[in-house]
Structures are given as C-alpha cells and as structure tokens.
Amino acid sequence: MNMNLTLLGQSISFALFVWFCMKFIWPFITTAMRERQKKIAEGLDSASRAQRDLELAQEKATQLLREAKEQSAQILEQTNKRASLLIEEAKEQARAEGVRLVEAAKAEITQEINRAKDDLRSQMSELIIQGAEQILESSVDANAHSKLVGKLAEQL
C-alpha cells in the first residue's frame, strides 16, 4: 500500500468527518451552549435583583423599626402627659374635697358652739332666776349677795 494514498484517504475522511460534525452536530452544541449562557446570565441577573431586593427590604425594615420606635416614644410621652394630667386633676379634687371637708367641719363646729351657747344661755337664765329667788328669799345683806353671785359665777 501506498503511504500517500492512505494519507490522502485519511485526509478526505477527516474532512468529511469535520463537515459532518459542522453540519449536524455543531448546531446542537452551540444551541446548548447559548441556552446555558442565557440561564447563567438570568441566574446572575436574578441574584443581583435578589440582592437589591434584600437591601431594599432591609432598608424598609430599618425604616419601619425606626417609625415604630418613634411612635412608641410618642405614645409613651402622651401616656406620661395623660398620667400627669390625671394626677394633677386628682390633686385638685383632693384639695377641693379637703377644703370642702374643712368648711363642713368649721360649719359643724360653729353649729355646736351656737348650740352650746344656747344651752348655756338657757342654763344661765335658770341660774339667774334661781339666784334671784334665793336673793329675794334671804335677807338683803351685801356679804350674802356677793357670796351668792360668787356661787353663781362658779356654776357658770
């Protein structure tokens, strides 16, 4: 066998193999590679979108947390103001109640004093009448009169 002819046959068969591969096999391989590139690109895009979404969600969560803290601080401040207002109102009511009780006690004391004075007046008038009766019954003596008046003063 001739070496040149073998080489030429192998070259022709290699050329046919390359042509066959380029015509029938290569398009499937390039299509698969393009699809894989698209999937990889889409995966990278979705990963970058997910990263951006995560950052936005973290910022939003931070903002919501800040707003919640501010709102809770406002609620706490309003509650403290309301509590101090209620305390002040209770103090004012207690003061007014104290003044009212003092006035009622003073009025009651005044009534008791007036009753006691009325009782003393009635008792005093009885004592004066008794003293006058005793003076009229006894003799008219200055010493006796002064002793009776002293006794009356002691009884008062």
**Radius of gyration in angstroms for the set of CA atoms belonging to the chain, rounded to a whole number:** 61
Q: Side chain identity at 47, as an amino acid letter?
A: A
Residue for token pair 């103001």: 81
Question: What's the pLDDT at 100?
Answer: 94
Q: How many residues does the chain have?
A: 156
Average pLDDT over residues 37-50: 95
CB 152 within 8 A of CB 127: yes
pLDDT in tens, 67-119: 999 999 999 999 999 999 999 999 999 999 999 999 999 999 999 999 988 88
For residue 135, count other CB atoms closer than 10 A to its CB: 16
Predicted TM-score (pTM) of this structure? 0.43
Cα–Cα distance, 124 to 152 (Å, whole number) = 9
Percent of the chain whose predicted confidence (pLDDT) is above 90: 70
